[in-house]
Amino acid sequence: MAIETTGTILDKIVAARRVTVEHRKRVLPLVALRMAVEKGKPLPVRDFAAALGRPGVSVIAEVKKASPSRGLLRADYVPDWLAQRLDLSGASAISVLTEEEFFQGALEHLRLVRPVTSVPLLRKDFVFDPWQVWESRAAGADSFLLIAAILDEALLAELISLGRTLGMEPLVEVHTRAELDRALAAGAMIVGVNNRDLRDFSVRLETSIELIEAIPEDRIAVTESGLRSSVEIARLAEAGFDAFLVGEQLMVAEDPGAALRALLGREAN
C-alpha cells in the first residue's frame, strides 16, 4: 500500500500533509483516537450518500478560505456562518476544507460547522492514512474525500472499507479514466469527477462529460469544480450526474446563499 506520486504541485501538498499528519499522530496516537471515538459519544453520522441521491439537484456547497490556484477567496471567512447560510439556502451537503498550508483551512472549522448545520458534512483534505479517517469521525465529519491520483488501489480500498466501518461513505475523486477504473475496482460507491486537473489546476467541464458513461448507474456520480451557472448544472444533470460540488463560485459571491439559490434555479430572497 502506497501513496502515488505525480511529479507536480500535488506531490508538494501531499508531502507537507504527511509531515503534519505524522506530528499529529505523535501527539494523539491511533489507539487513543480510536478510544475517543469508540468509547466516547461521537455525533451521529448523517447519511451523505442518501443526501446526494434524493430527487432534484443536489449541491455539495464548499466552504474554503483560499486555494492554490486563486489564492485568497474570502477575506471575511467565517466558516460556521457561511455553512449555516448555505444549509438554509438549499445545500444537500457541506464540504469543509481542513488543509492548513495551501487552503488556509483547519479541522476546527469542521467542528464549528457541525452544530449549526443539519446536512451531512464532507471533510475535504488530502487523506492517505487510516488515522485521518478516525480523526475525521472524531471531529464530526459524515464523509471524507479520497483522491485517487495519490492512492494506489490497495490503500484506496482500505480507506473506503474503514470509512464504511465508521458509517462514513467516502467521496472518491478521479480525473482520468485510469483513476476512475482504479476507484471502481477499489469499491467506490460515490465517485466524484474533478474537472480541475490537480497537477496544473486547469479546468475543463468536458472531463465530466467524457467520464460519465463509464460510471455505473448504481454509483452516485458527482461532478466537481468549475461550475458557475444553473445552465451548466442542468447540462451535467442531463448527462447523468447526481450531485454537484461547488466552492469558489460561492465563496467569492457577496451573498453565498443567494449565489447557491441561483445555481439551484431558485429566486434569491
99 labelled catalytic: no
Annotated active-site residue in 4, 58, 62, 208: 62
Instruction: Please answer whether residues 194 and 225 qualify as being in contact, where contact means their C-beta atoms are separated by less than 8 angstroms.
Output: yes
Supply the angle between the helices 256-263 and 230-239 in degrees, to the nearest 10: 40
- For residue 169, the 8-state DSSP code is P
User: What are the residues facing 110 on neighbouring strands?
Assistant: none
DSSP reduced 3-state for 33: helix
Annotated active-site residue in 135, 169, 224, 248: 224
The CB-side HSE value for 153 (13 A sphere, CA atoms) comes to 10
124 labelled catalytic: yes
Annotated active-site residue in 64, 89, 92, 135: 64
Annotated active-site residue in 4, 135, 169, 173: 173
62 labelled catalytic: yes
Annotated active-site residue in 58, 95, 143, 194: 194
224 labelled catalytic: yes
173 labelled catalytic: yes
Annotated active-site residue in 124, 169, 179, 208: 124
Annotated active-site residue in 89, 99, 225, 248: 225
Strands, DSSP E only, in 40-165? 58-63, 66-67, 71-72, 93-97, 121-124, 143-147
Enzyme catalytic residues:
62, 64, 124, 173, 194, 224-225
